[in-house]
Amino acid sequence: MSKRGLIFTLTLLIIILFSFMALYFGYFLVSPAGIDKKETIFIVKKGAGLRAVANELRRKSLIKSKDLFILCAILKGGTKDVKAGEYSLNQSMSPLRIFNILSTGAIKTYTLTIPEGLTAQQIADLLAKKNLTNMSEFIPLVMDKTLAASYHIDGTNLEGYLFPDTYVISRDTGARELIDLMIKRFQKIFTDLIKDQKSTTGRLLPAKDIVTLASIVEKEAGLPEEKPIIASVFLNRLKKRMRLESDPTVIYGLKNFDGNLKKKDLRTPGPYNTYLNYGLPPGPIANPGRESLMAVLKPAKTNYLYFVAKNDGSHHFSVSLSEHNKAVYRYQKRRRSTSNNKKK
């Protein structure tokens, strides 16, 4: 074979070899490691190198070749593209798709719903139960007066301003970041409500008083439609310089409430005991939702000064104390007496 023929043959073999390698590499990029679609939680730690990520992907059987995955990363733009976070992967994903997920930071997210009327401590308990945010970090931040001031909140803590809503967060969402989301959601909702009411009413209560009263309404109301009426009762009592006499405020002030509010609790002095103190408590007793805030801003027009639970979620409202006492007997005392007789 001539020298020219040898060169041609070698060149052809090299072309064929590289073509085969390119085809194999292309096949690798689009071929999943398996068919199992069961979720595999894959965590990329901060500072983890590409080789460590590739090794872990291979160990979890999410890719067939760590070296080809590394080559893919290099060809796609660099070795520092993979972002830290928690990811939801499975064997049926191609290596190319997996790399795109890791490089774009398409981390796994969780839907977190905070119900209306929870206290900051109850929110912390919910977060701990879902293992989403460190409770030990959450509560100190909520109680940080300096942090509250940074949001221009008139109070010593953030109770009342952690807006109840549905949030989409990741496992890496820190307590500070989550609090920021909740406070900013509150500020948006509250500002919109205030603007709307200024156009129809005029003089408004201070923001702190609105939130505090809304938190009481949130805890007292069993039915959404009764919130404006309950708000009117408390506003009427405040105007007449009457004590609010709200059980939820007393409960909030108790350190170890066992679920049974006793007469001695109502007689125990404390800043949140509205049976002994006049006016509103020092601050919110829970985190109210939009309807409760709206109820305070736009209360029903009533002369009611009293209400008592009817044990079906609703309340009986009264103008006079005598009428209220009759309602208490009808819905509370007589019911307890009847219940006790049935037990005998």
- Give the per-residue pLDDT at 24: 56
Phi, psi of 13 (to 5 degrees): -65, -40
pLDDT tens digits for range 244-278: 999 999 999 998 888 899 999 999 999 999 999 99
Residues 94, 123, single domain; the answer is no
Q: The domain that contains 69 carries what CATH number?
A: 3.30.1490.480
Lookup: tokens for 160: 């009342």
Q: Is the pLDDT at 233 greater than 60, yes or no?
A: yes
Q: Residue 9: inside a domain, yes or no?
A: no
- Give the per-residue pLDDT at 19: 61
Last-in-domain residue among 152, 167, 196: 196
Total count of domains within the chain: 3
Q: What is the mean pLDDT of residues 16-40?
A: 74
Residues 59, 117, single domain; the answer is no
Contacts of 232 (CB under 8 A, 6+ apart): 299, 300, 301, 302, 304
Q: Residue 326: inside a domain, yes or no?
A: yes
- Give the per-residue pLDDT at 49: 86
Last-in-domain residue among 79, 104, 129: 104
33/143 Cα distance (integer angstroms): 49
- Give the per-residue pLDDT at 202: 47
Last-in-domain residue among 104, 121, 136: 104
Q: Residue 11: inside a domain, yes or no?
A: no
Name the pLDDT band for 4 (thresholds 50, 70, 90): low
Name the pLDDT band for 342 (thresholds 50, 70, 90): very low
Q: Residue 10: inside a domain, yes or no?
A: no
99/257 Cα distance (integer angstroms): 52
Q: What percent of the chain has pLDDT over 90?
A: 63
Q: Residue 245: inside a domain, yes or no?
A: yes
pLDDT tens digits for range 125-139: 999 888 887 778 999
Q: The domain that contains 168 carries what CATH number?
A: 3.30.1490
Contact 210, 197 (CB under 8 A): no
Residues 181, 67, single domain; the answer is no
Residues 115, 228, single domain; the answer is no
Q: Residue 21: inside a domain, yes or no?
A: no
344/341 Cα distance (integer angstroms): 5
Q: Is the pLDDT at 290 greater than 80, yes or no?
A: yes
Residues 125, 232, single domain; the answer is no
Residues 320, 219, single domain; the answer is yes
- Give the per-residue pLDDT at 198: 64
- Give the per-residue pLDDT at 21: 59
Q: Which residues pair with 88 in a beta bridge?
A: 41
* Domain interval for residue 35: 31-104
- Give the per-residue pLDDT at 25: 61
Residues 294, 324, single domain; the answer is yes
Q: Residue 311: inside a domain, yes or no?
A: yes
pLDDT tens digits for range 173-231: 889 999 999 999 999 999 999 987 765 544 578 999 999 999 999 999 999 999 999 99
Q: What is the mean pLDDT of residues 42-50?
A: 87
Residues 92, 208, single domain; the answer is no
Residues 208, 337, single domain; the answer is yes
- Give the per-residue pLDDT at 196: 77
Q: Is the pLDDT at 70 greater than 90, yes or no?
A: no
Q: Is the pLDDT at 344 greater than 50, yes or no?
A: no
Q: Residue 145: inside a domain, yes or no?
A: yes
Identify the CA nearest to 163 among candidates 142, 141, 140, 184: 184
Residues 190, 274, single domain; the answer is no
Identify the CA nearest to 233 among candidates 302, 330, 320: 302
281 versus 77: the higher-pLDDT residue is 281
pLDDT tens digits for range 122-171: 999 999 888 887 778 999 999 999 999 999 999 999 999 999 999 999 88
Q: Global pTM?
A: 0.82
Q: Is the pLDDT at 5 greater than 70, yes or no?
A: no
Single-letter amino acid, residue 239 = K
Name the pLDDT band for 338 (thresholds 50, 70, 90): very low
- Give the per-residue pLDDT at 332: 82
Name the pLDDT band for 73 (thresholds 50, 70, 90): confident
Residues 207, 318, single domain; the answer is yes
Q: Is the pLDDT at 280 greater than 90, yes or no?
A: yes
Q: What is the mean pLDDT of residues 41-46?
A: 90
Residues 240, 325, single domain; the answer is yes
